[in-house]
């Protein structure tokens, strides 16, 4: 095996796009597997990390290989790895302090991966981990959706929305979603019960008495969400500001918690005024939950939605397309050195 690999990295924040360079192949620790990456998906967090927008929550050293989720083949396993062996097809979302899936090889802890369900190709499997886990954690863990609950999922046509609609339907919810008219058919096929064209209509004039809003937009769209939820319901955002509860759970130092408290005062006020609880979710890797998502795929209840697949060499184009905000489902990078499917 080569001792070096190609990887897409940045050498400082605010770089305009990552550069593909040669670096040593990582050494797996005892609880790691070394994976030859076949495909990786672009997530908006990759762009935010590159811009330095997550410095409050995550600290990185440079040079930094970007990329949060992947699909590939196990090459070697560490001495303490029991559940995986060379040749296994695996996928996962890596720990936030060990990102680097835009590379030909990746060392990843065994607890963060799962076997790829048989029906999925590497390209399809790479579309699921980050958005699948985020949606699962928002809808099942935080909201604890029950059959008949009414939930609004903002941006049903995005990477998150396309998976969240399917999971919410599987949990028995009535699902409203927003997108522009060109994506109506897509979100209806995924199971959305009510679709709102956010460019023509204001969701607050159409929806009321909802149990939950899954917010993917932040800002004023997030603030408006409180007006359509019943008292006792929840607004769960993955894009808005974190609040003091999150700062405590996440273990942020006191000065950061104070800064967050000041920045989120409008959300705190809305929470008090409406009786609707606000939660900020920062998803976490979880191989066991990923295995549950894999079961949903095998049962025909979850299917990744892919907008386009680009070769690794076109990572700059992939980043630019993600930054446009127009993706319908996921953007996938295919790694050159990976074995064919
Ligand atoms: N906190 C966490 O753990 C976490 C985890 C995952 C993602 N996130 C965040 O969640 C956000 C969404 O991620 P994503 O992967 O779904 O993004 P994405 O795939 O880039 O979203 C693109 C989609 O958003 C739609 N859209 C854009 N503006 C909209 C609006 N105002 N109303 C309704 N739809 C709109 C677009 O549809 P049109 O083309 O029709 O406009 C497009 O289909 C990002 O900010 C990401 O960083 C956070």
250 lines ligand 1 (CB under 6 A): no
Determine contact, residues 303/166, Cβ cutoff 8 Å: yes
Distance (Å, whole) CA 251 – CA 242: 13
Alpha-carbon span 9 to 166, nearest angstrom: 33
Between strands 64-65 and 113-115, the pairing is: unpaired
Whole-number Å distance, alpha carbon 215 to ligand 1 midpoint, is: 9
Q: Are strands 89-93 and 113-115 parallel, antiparallel or unpaired?
A: antiparallel
Decide: 68 in ligand 1 pocket, CB within 6 A. no
Would you say residue 283 has pLDDT above 90?
yes
CB of 330 shorter than 6 A to ligand 1: no
pLDDT confidence of residue 260: 94
Q: What is the pLDDT of residues 126-144, one digit of tens each?
A: 999 999 999 999 999 999 9
Residue 297, token pair as written in the block: 């795929």
* Residue 189, token pair as written in the block: 């096929």
Mutate to test the pocket of ligand 1, among 41, 44, 283, 289 (most ligand atoms within 8 A of CB): 44
- Going from the C-alpha of 57 to that of each of 99, 264, 299, the distances in angstroms are 14, 15, 36
Q: 41 CB less than 6 Å from ligand 1?
A: no
Ligand 1 atom nearest residue 283's Cα: 3
Query: 329: Cβ below 6 Å to ligand 1?
Result: no
Atom of ligand 1 at shortest range from CA of 183: 40
Question: What is the pLDDT, as a whole number, of residue 1?
Answer: 64
Return the ligand 1 atom nearest residue 238 CA.
1
Please give the mean pLDDT across all residues of the chain: 96
- Reply yes or no on whether the pLDDT at 189 is more than 70: yes
Read off the pLDDT of residues 219-246 as tens digits, 9 standing for 90 and up. 999 999 999 999 999 999 999 999 999 9
- DSSP for 149-161 reads -EEEES-TTSHHH
Instruction: Quote the pTM value.
Output: 0.97
Residue 337 has pLDDT above 80, yes or no: no
Protein residue with its CA nearest to atom 18 in ligand 1: 158
User: How does pLDDT run across 35-86, given as a tens digit for each residue?
Assistant: 999 999 999 999 999 999 998 899 999 999 999 999 999 999 999 999 999 9
- What would the two tokens of residue 229 be? 């939820």
> With 60 as the cut, is the pLDDT of residue 169 above it?
yes
The whole-angstrom separation of Cα 44 and Cα 65 is 15
The response to whether residue 126 sits with its C-beta less than 6 Å from ligand 1 reads no
The reply to whether ligand 1 has any atom less than 6 angstroms from the CB of 284 is no
pLDDT at 126: 98
Q: Is the CB of 309 under 6 A from ligand 1?
A: no
**Half-sphere exposure of residue 311: CA atoms within 13 angstroms, side-chain side:** 4
Q: Is 239 in the pocket of ligand 1 (CB under 6 A)?
A: yes
For ligand 1, atom 25: residue with the closest CA: 155
- Compute the distance between CA of residue 206 and CA of residue 212 in angstroms, rounded to an integer: 15
Tell me the HSE value of 38 on the side-chain side, using a 13 A CA sphere.
23
pLDDT confidence tier of residue 340, bands split at 50, 70 and 90: very low
Q: How far apart are CA 80 and CA 215, in angstroms?
A: 40
CB of 61 closer than 8 Å to CB of 80:
no
How many Å lie between the centroid of ligand 1 and the Cα of residue 82? 37
Work out the angle at residue 327's Cα, subtended by the Cα atoms of residues 198 and 224, and round it to the nearest 5 degrees. Answer: 30
198 Cβ inside 6 Å of ligand 1: yes
Tens-place pLDDT, residues 240-253 = 999 999 999 999 99
What percent of the chain has pLDDT above 70? 98
């Amino acid at each position: 095996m080569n001792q070096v690999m190609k990887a897409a990295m940045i050498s400082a924040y605010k770089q305009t796009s990552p550069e593909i360079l040669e670096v040593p192949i990582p050494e797996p620790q005892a609880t790691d597997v070394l994976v030859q990456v076949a495909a990786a998906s672009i997530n908006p967090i990759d762009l935010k990390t590159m811009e330095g927008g997550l410095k409050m929550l995550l600290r990185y050293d440079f040079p930094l290989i970007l990329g949060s989720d992947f699909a590939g083949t196990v090459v070697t396993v560490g001495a303490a790895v029991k559940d995986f062996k060379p040749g296994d097809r695996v996928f996962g979302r890596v720990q936030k302090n060990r990102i680097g899936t835009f590379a030909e090889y990746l060392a990843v802890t065994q607890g963060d991966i799962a076997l790829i369900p048989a029906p999925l190709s590497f390209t399809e499997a790479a579309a699921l981990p980050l958005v699948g886990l985020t949606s699962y954690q928002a809808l099942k863990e935080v909201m604890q959706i029950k059959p008949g609950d009414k939930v609004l999922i903002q941006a049903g046509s995005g990477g998150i929305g396309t998976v969240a609609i399917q999971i919410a339907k599987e949990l028995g919810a009535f699902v409203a979603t927003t997108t522009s008219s060109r994506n109506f058919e897509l979100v209806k096929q995924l199971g959305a019960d009510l679709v709102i064209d956010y460019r023509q209509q204001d969701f607050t004039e159409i929806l009321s008495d909802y149990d939950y809003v899954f917010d993917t937009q932040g800002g004023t769209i997030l603030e408006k969400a409180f007006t359509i939820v019943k008292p006792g319901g929840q607004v769960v955002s993955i894009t808005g500001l974190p609040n003091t509860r999150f700062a405590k759970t996440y273990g942020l130092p006191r000065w950061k918690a104070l800064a967050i408290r000041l920045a989120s005062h409008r959300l705190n006020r809305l929470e008090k005024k409406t009786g609707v609880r606000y939660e900020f979710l920062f998803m976490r890797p979880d191989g066991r939950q990923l295995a549950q998502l894999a079961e949903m795929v095998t049962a025909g209840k979850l299917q990744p939605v892919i907008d386009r697949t680009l070769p690794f060499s076109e990572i700059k184009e992939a980043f630019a397309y993600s930054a446009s905000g127009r993706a319908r489902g996921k953007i996938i990078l295919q790694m050159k050195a990976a074995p064919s499917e």
